[in-house]
Structure 1
Amino acid sequence: MFKQVKHLQNFLRFAKGEHEPIIGPIKAAWEVLSVCNAKCRTCDRWQEKDDPSMLSTAEGKNLIRQLADNGVMNLCFTGGEPLLRKDIFELIAWAKSCHLSTSLMSNGLLINDRRAKNLIDAGLDLIYISLDGSTPELNDALRGIKGYFELASQGIENLKSLRSNARPKVFIAFTVNKANMYDLENMARFVKSRALDGLSFQPALHLPQVKYRVDEELAFGPGDAATLQTLVERVLKMYGELLPMNRDYYRQFASFIENPHKLREQHSIAGFAFVNIDPRGNVYPDPLETASMGNIREQSFEKIWYGRRASEVRTRIARQELPAGFFESVVPLTMAVQRMTPLRLHRALKPIFTTAEHF
Structure 2
Amino acid sequence: MQHLRLAERILLRKFGSDYYAYNAKSDTLYELDNEAFYFLLSCDGSEREADREILDFLISEGILEVNSEKKENVYVEQSEPSLRHFLISVTHSCNLKCQHCYILQNTSHIDETTFKKAIDEFYSIGGLKLLISGGEPLLHPKIFTLLEHARRYPFRIVLMTNGYLLNDDRIDKITELVDEVQISLDGFEGHRTLRNAGWEKPIDVIKSLSGSVDVSVATMVTKYNINEFERMSRVLESLNVYRWSIDVPVTEKDMLPPPDSIKEVLQNYGFGKRSYPSIQGYACGTHYCEMDPEGNIVKCGFFEEPCGNIRDGLIKCWENLKRTYIWRLDELECSCQYVDECRGGCRYRALMYCGDILGCDPVMCNIYGVKQCCQ
TM-score where L is the length of structure 1: 0.66
Q: Aligned pair count? A: 270
Alpha carbons of 1:109 and 1:235: their partners in 2 closer, same or farther (altered >3 Å)? same
Matched, 1:49 2:91: no
1:138 deviates by 2.9
Give the counterpart of 2:132 among 77, 85, 88: 77
Q: Which runs of 5+ in 1 are unaligned?
A: 13-19, 161-165, 207-213, 237-241, 250-265, 328-359
Give the counterpart of 2:232 among 182, 187, 191: 187
RMSD over aligned Cα, in angstroms? 3.2
Residue 90 of structure 1 aligns with which residue?
145
1:78 deviates by 1.1
Residue 295 of structure 1 aligns with which residue?
309
Residue 152 of structure 1 aligns with which residue?
202
Counterparts of 1:1-359 in structure 2, within 5 Å, are: 3-6=12-15, 9=18, 21-22=79-80, 24-45=82-103, 48-51=105-108, 54-122=109-177, 124-133=178-187, 135=188, 137-145=189-197, 148-160=198-210, 166-206=211-251, 214=252, 216-220=253-257, 224-235=258-269, 242-245=271-274, 267-270=282-285, 272-297=286-311, 299-306=312-319, 309-314=320-325, 319=331, 324-325=347-348
Normalized per residue, the structure richer in helix is 1
- What amino acid maps onto 2:248 in structure 1? P
Alpha carbons of 1:75 and 1:2: their partners in 2 closer, same or farther (altered >3 Å)? closer
- What amino acid maps onto 1:143 in structure 2? R
Alpha carbons of 1:289 and 1:3: their partners in 2 closer, same or farther (altered >3 Å)? farther
Contact 1:125–1:167 (8 Å) recurs in 2: no
Q: Distance in 2 between matches of 1:33 and 1:8?
A: 37
Alpha carbons of 1:312 and 1:7: their partners in 2 closer, same or farther (altered >3 Å)? closer
Deviations, residues 243-272 of structure 1 (Å, cap 9, x unaligned): 3329xx9xxxxxxxxxxxxxxxx83252x4
Contact 2:117–2:310 (8 Å) recurs in 1: no
Structure of larger gyration radius: 2
Alpha carbons of 1:194 and 1:23: their partners in 2 closer, same or farther (altered >3 Å)? closer
- Of structures 1 and 2, the one scoring higher in RCO (CA 8 A, sep 6+) is 1
Q: Secondary structure at the match of 1:42?
A: coil
Alpha carbons of 1:101 and 1:311: their partners in 2 closer, same or farther (altered >3 Å)? closer
1:129 deviates by 0.7
1:69 deviates by 0.4
1:30 deviates by 0.8
TM-score where L is the length of structure 2: 0.64
Please say which of residues 92-101 and 24-33 is displaced more in the overlay.
92-101
Contact 1:185–1:231 (8 Å) recurs in 2: no
Residue 71 of structure 2 aligns with which residue?
none
- What amino acid maps onto 1:268 in structure 2? A
Q: Which runs of 5+ in 2 are unaligned?
A: 1-9, 21-30, 32-77, 334-345, 351-375
Alpha carbons of 1:315 and 1:2: their partners in 2 closer, same or farther (altered >3 Å)? same
Contact 1:110–1:155 (8 Å) recurs in 2: no
1:184 deviates by 1.5
Q: Distance in 2 between matches of 1:230 and 1:198?
A: 19
Q: Distance in 2 between matches of 1:312 and 1:228?
A: 33
Q: Distance in 2 between matches of 1:151 and 1:315?
A: 38
Normalized per residue, the structure richer in strand is 2
Alpha carbons of 1:326 and 1:191: their partners in 2 closer, same or farther (altered >3 Å)? farther
1:67 deviates by 0.6
Q: Distance in 2 between matches of 1:226 and 1:7?
A: 40
Contact 1:202–1:326 (8 Å) recurs in 2: no
Q: Secondary structure at the match of 1:5?
A: strand
The sequence identity of aligned pairs, in percent, is 23
